[in-house]
Structure 1
Amino acid sequence: MAKIKSKYVCQSCGYESLKWIGKCPECDDWNTFVEEIEDKKSKHDLFIIEKEVQKPVPINKLEINEQERFSTCINELDRVLGGGVVKGSLILAGGDPGIGKSTLLIQVADNVAKSGKKVLYASGEESIYQIKMRAKRLDIESENLYIFAENNLDIIEKQIDNIKPDMIIVDSIQTVYSPQITSTPGSVSQIKEGTSRFMKISKKVGISTFIVGHVTKEGSLAGPKILEHMVDAVLYFEGERYNTYRMIRSVKNRFGSTNELGVFEMRDKGLIEVENPSKILISEKPKGVSGSVIVATIEGTRPMLVELQALVCPTSFGIPKRAATGVDYNRVSLLMAVLEKRAGMQIQNQDIYINVVGGIKLNEPAIDLGIVISIASSFRNIETNEKTVAIGEVGLTGEIRGVSFIEKRIAECKKLGFNRVIVPKSNVKGLENMDDIKIIGVENIREALDFVLGG
């Protein structure tokens, strides 16, 4: 009788070891190794799409057609995907529990089914009656939408052969398992096997597939990093669970631009797209208070106006408290140091809190000037002009550096009725002839603060 061989696999990164070890040498996580029985089939079979031998072809001899797409009938999602769902693509959607992944995807399934295409919604987390309850709440009654509660990968593949759908939704990839692999559902081996088999189905048959992925407590997708490399697009759901607004961000897209953002509002009838998020996000900006400023950011190809708020108050403890929501905490700490050194602002004994209104996360450096102005406004208790927008990256010497897509940002400001925009001086060239809006170019944070706060 052949001896059964086992191995230990890190559930965070997929590193394999012949024996159990406490700390993974690859990702440095503790107590993540789980014993798994070695699979007899070749590891290379997991990633082969076509087994037929092909000859290398000169690139100038190849002819391609435009990628065939179909619409989800949700404009915000279509734009994030680059113009719609590409036929035969594999899309990974991740997000926190309760954020609205399953709700949006069943809405997408209904829209696609109503267009005449067959859709298979396979759930390993809910029964068909639980899915029907949600569908009834969302008024979903399409006859081309097939619901299937199963997490056995072999059975799901059989139903795909029977129904021959145009689109598949798998909720979630962590619950799907292959009987040929001895490890439990959600393990690295099962996730790799499930994703690779759905990838083969998508590429060979031309079925567009959405797979839902869970996230860890750190906010990254659960499972090995190779999961994100295997799929064609990765969508992240963002936003506070108890906030009405949800954001879908494309962090990888082989068929469109990355970092594209779609904004939705959660209502009793599901997720409703927000066509003009800038107007919504700044509609409740308070008047006559300090610490609030509007910034213009670019998400993918879309300009957005967002409200930044800061609260600065004397600390009651020996070490001041600093907190940032929606922006990088380390970046905020750097800007506070620049304020102290280059603007002479004594904030080392102040508690400082930064917040981006609406639950949006901003990462680009063009919001630096807005953070600086909001902190200074709250510290000096001087309100800013409600019709002013701040744009600019702040360097360590206090200089204001130029940003990209300045025309798009200013056009968005004009559309929403703002009449003054503070921009880096290097961006002013070519903007002098802008009508109905005043462009103020500044070289450093002192000039910006003097203009906004009056010294």
Structure 2
Amino acid sequence: MQRGKVSFRCSECLSVSLQWSGQCSSCSAWNSLSEVVETRHQAAIFSPKGGPSGISKICDISHENIQRRQTGISELDRVLGGGLVLGSVILLSGDPGIGKSTLALQLAAKQHEEIDTLYVTGEESSQQLVLRAKRLGISNLPIDVLAGNSLQSILEHISEYKLVVIDSIQALSSGNLTSLPGSVAQVRESAEAILRYAKNSECCVLMIGHVTKEGTLAGPKLLEHMVDTVLYFEGDDASRLRMIRSYKNRFGNVNEVGVFAMTGSGLQEVGNPSEMFLSRRVSDVPGSVVLATHQGTRPLLVEVQALLDASSLGNPRRLCVGLDAQRLMMLLAVLNRQSDVLVGAYDIFVNVVGGIRIVDSGADVALLAAIISSVLDKPFPRDVVCFGEIGLGGEIRPVQRGEDRIREASKLGYERVLVPKDNYTALETIEAQIIDIVSVSELVQWVEQNPS
């Protein structure tokens, strides 16, 4: 195949230049231009289907044959929205050593008996892959493996498969380009070819992606736009807890979370993460509060801890792990204006136990309750769960999925729930004792009068 027109694309702004330069002329980014070779066969990502012109009416398009296939891993099914969709391309990214390849190999082991499955390894030899499979206890399974990083060779071999795992997209190399594997041009070329194949053959492809030192996906931003689903593997090096979070999903909800535990024999599903997060909670300790939150559609109970200590510094420290530090500063200002509790002279440390990251405005009440409990040195009642959003005027606002949060708390044996007044109105059918609060000053008063 003859080489096409050569140009250079910026990895930051995607602008195209005819010649290479150390600095992009559009966005001024340095060392961001990579070679791109335009080839005629890339005019369309996949061939049109429908009438002679490729145009169909949406009401006439049959979708009955498009079904989800359960992966055999329920936590992964939850994140995907119910299972694998044939013809979809999934991008799984995360820090090195977090468990991406382990999960991909376990998925291949679950699916190989149901559909034709191929595991493509571009970073390991076949023998090295067998060693990892042996550790997972699946080395005796007849899983098809292809070791190599040539894009053209891979496309020749995968035509008969309905599930293909590619480990990883940054390892692939196209013979049409002269740039090194992992470059912007190589990643884009490989992703386009794989996407085109998946859509035409109705094959589901799971691609593993690397991340940069900043924690973002390596390669062009275009890669995330091209694929159907983007999953991120999260976890703390000091913890065996692993979480998969969906940041993009054309076939399901975003921000869904699947919870796993990394063990010596691979990833194990955590069916009841709330119970795991609270299993070692020490009651009757000031500054410890149970929060009812949600991750996607899943209700979750986690422990929020706060520690206040008299500061010897001119500017007291504010450290927040697992929650938004900017939101902490806002809530401290609200507490200062709306109550007599003064925390300006204290170093404040906040932590969400278990290493989970909470992105939920409904965590405001629990966070402030933990701070109030710590500064007053009064333990928060051990049988109470709380949630609610706090406004700048000190009002406590309702949150979404209040009923699910209450039911999760009741299921784990908690008898009382502090909720915003509007959520209380919507939850009158719940048998658990519900205590409604309307303001920060009322929250302070409740903590003072109801010690553990």
Alignment TM class, shorter chain as reference: over 0.9
Deviates more, 1:210-219 or 1:139-148: 139-148
> In 2, Cα distance between the equivalents of 1:370 and 1:284?
19
> Is 1:238 matched with 2:237?
no
Match of 1:165 in 2: 161
Does the C-alpha gap of structure 1 residues 66 and 317 become closer, same or farther in structure 2, counting only changes over 3 Å?
farther
Match of 1:105 in 2: 104
> In 2, Cα distance between the equivalents of 1:184 and 1:4?
18
Checking the alignment, whether the CA contact within 8 Å between 1:248 and 1:261 is kept in structure 2 is: yes
> In 2, Cα distance between the equivalents of 1:262 and 1:278?
12
Match of 1:68 in 2: 67
> In 2, Cα distance between the equivalents of 1:116 and 1:431?
44
Match of 2:14 in 1: 14
Match of 1:271 in 2: 267
Does the C-alpha gap of structure 1 residues 47 and 190 become closer, same or farther in structure 2, counting only changes over 3 Å?
farther
Match of 1:423 in 2: 419
TM-score (norm 1): 0.92
Percent identical pairs in the alignment equals 41
Deviates more, 1:337-346 or 1:305-314: 337-346
Equivalent residues in 2 for 1:217-296, closer than 5 Å: 217-296=213-292
- Give the 3-state SS of the residue equivalent to 1:336 in structure 2: helix
Deviations 1:377-435 (A, max 9, x none): 12222110111111100101111001111111101110000011000011111433432
- Which residue, out of 380, 395, 399, partners 1:399? 395
Shift of 1:143: 4.5
Deviations 1:238-272 (A, max 9, x none): 11123111011111111122211111011111000
What amino acid sits opposite 1:199 in the alignment? L
Match of 2:132 in 1: 134
> In 2, Cα distance between the equivalents of 1:331 and 1:368?
8
Match of 2:55 in 1: 56
Deviations 1:125-165 (A, max 9, x none): 1111111111001111354411222111011112213xx12
What amino acid sits opposite 1:136 in the alignment? K
Checking the alignment, whether the CA contact within 8 Å between 1:6 and 1:35 is kept in structure 2 is: no
Q: Quote the RMSD (CA, aligned, Å).
A: 2.2
Does the C-alpha gap of structure 1 residues 260 and 76 become closer, same or farther in structure 2, counting only changes over 3 Å?
same
Gapped regions of structure 1 (runs ≥ 5)? none
Does the C-alpha gap of structure 1 residues 237 and 159 become closer, same or farther in structure 2, counting only changes over 3 Å?
same
Match of 2:76 in 1: 77
Does the C-alpha gap of structure 1 residues 139 and 4 become closer, same or farther in structure 2, counting only changes over 3 Å?
closer
Shift of 1:74: 0.8
> In 1, Cα distance between the equivalents of 2:216 and 2:327?
20
Match of 2:149 in 1: 151
Deviates more, 1:340-349 or 1:359-368: 340-349
> Is 1:444 matched with 2:439?
yes
> In 2, Cα distance between the equivalents of 1:274 and 1:143?
25
> In 2, Cα distance between the equivalents of 1:22 and 1:263?
43
Shift of 1:62: 2.8
Shift of 1:48: 2.2
Does the C-alpha gap of structure 1 residues 4 and 159 become closer, same or farther in structure 2, counting only changes over 3 Å?
closer
Shift of 1:207: 1.1
The count of corresponding residues between Structure 1 and Structure 2 is 446
Equivalent residues in 2 for 1:162-241, closer than 5 Å: 164-241=160-237
> In 1, Cα distance between the equivalents of 2:378 and 2:31?
52
Checking the alignment, whether the CA contact within 8 Å between 2:37 and 2:176 is kept in structure 1 is: yes
Checking the alignment, whether the CA contact within 8 Å between 1:121 and 1:146 is kept in structure 2 is: yes
- Give the 3-state SS of the residue equivalent to 1:429 in structure 2: helix
Gapped regions of structure 2 (runs ≥ 5)? none
Match of 1:326 in 2: 322
Deviates more, 1:91-100 or 1:7-16: 7-16
Match of 1:315 in 2: 311
> In 2, Cα distance between the equivalents of 1:434 and 1:70?
36
Deviations 1:44-66 (A, max 9, x none): 82652116763433333333215
